[in-house]
Amino acid sequence: MAPPQGGPSLALHGGAGRRVRLTPAGRASYAEGLLAAYRAGWEILAAGGDALDAVCASVEVLENDPLFNAGRGAALTATGQAELDASVMTGSGLAGAVAASKYAPNPVRLARAVMEYTEHVLIVDPDAAFLERYGIEPVERDYFVTEQRRQQLERVADGRHGTVGAVARDAGGRVAAATSTGGMTGQVDGRVGDSPIVGAGVYARDDVVAVSCTGDGEAFIRGVVAYDVAARIRYAAADLAEAVQGTFDQELTARGATGGLVAVGGDGRIVVAHNSPAMFSARGTGPGPALTT
């Protein structure tokens, strides 16, 4: 847990799950991806930019990196296709999300378009014309499919689920969160997890907290995990670490579910937590983040 401070804060995750046995080179590749995503967000915050711009920039980098389960290289459904979910939320209460997205190279950008340009919050299975309406160039569905994910689908083995996300507090005290995922390897076509569900996989409220989650999606939906953290702070006066621990104990661990989250409080305090064996993450209040791979 990082202490409170008055400047910007940024934290991101690259998915929680089983402990992955990585070679030194493999670990370095994940670290490089996390660092690139952190730098993209931090450059915006350091220049006085908005928290929403920062979290979207960080998540887009992870969506473009085939190592992570979002965007290109995302997990595949039972029929070998990519169906992507993403969401964004600002501390002022605005939110946008997409589920079962098939044509957006960066689903987080599409989720932001839903928030900024429509009267809706969640759009399911948007077609290519919907993307083009908001200036997003669609891609063919095979763009997302990598050989590594094809092999993983055949095994349905380690790393069955994973998600990427980011939270930030900017110099003006505003907070924002974004989450993006390909879901679970081998999931039924049409399955939607917590990532695009406001209050489950993502939540933000100024002066309280911003949260992005990863893990067993159904448990995060049932426990409304992201909002539960915020409610403990807002209504029970819990500090951020206490709120996260209480939510994990009651809504995840007690139910036999695993996962993790990154959170930034209204005071800039950062918490990175998981009850799974591992979680990729980066966090900091300056250009040099702390990395977990």
Catalytic residues: 163
Residues ≥6 apart with Cβ < 8 Å to 106: 60, 63, 64, 71, 136
Residue with the two structure tokens 């309280």: 208
Q: Write the DSSP string, the chain.
A: -BPP-SS-EEEEEEEEES-----HHHHHHHHHHHHHHHHHHHHHHHTT--HHHHHHHHHHHHHH-TTSSSSTT----TTS---EEEEEEETTS-EEEEEEE-S-SSHHHHHHHHHHHSS-SEEES--HHHHHHTT-----GGGG--HHHHHHHHHT-S-----EEEEEE-TTS-EEEEEEE---TTPPTT---STTSBTTTEEEETTTEEEEEEE-HHHHHHTTHHHHHHHHHHHH---HHHHHHHHIIIIIGGGT--EEEEEEETTS-EEEEESSSEEEEEEESSSS-EEE-
Nearest Cα to Cα of residue 99 among 205, 169, 11, 179: 179
Please answer whether residues 49 and 41 qualify as being in contact, where contact means their C-beta atoms are separated by less than 8 angstroms.
no
Q: What span, in angstroms and rounded, lies between the C-alpha atoms of 236 and 85?
A: 31
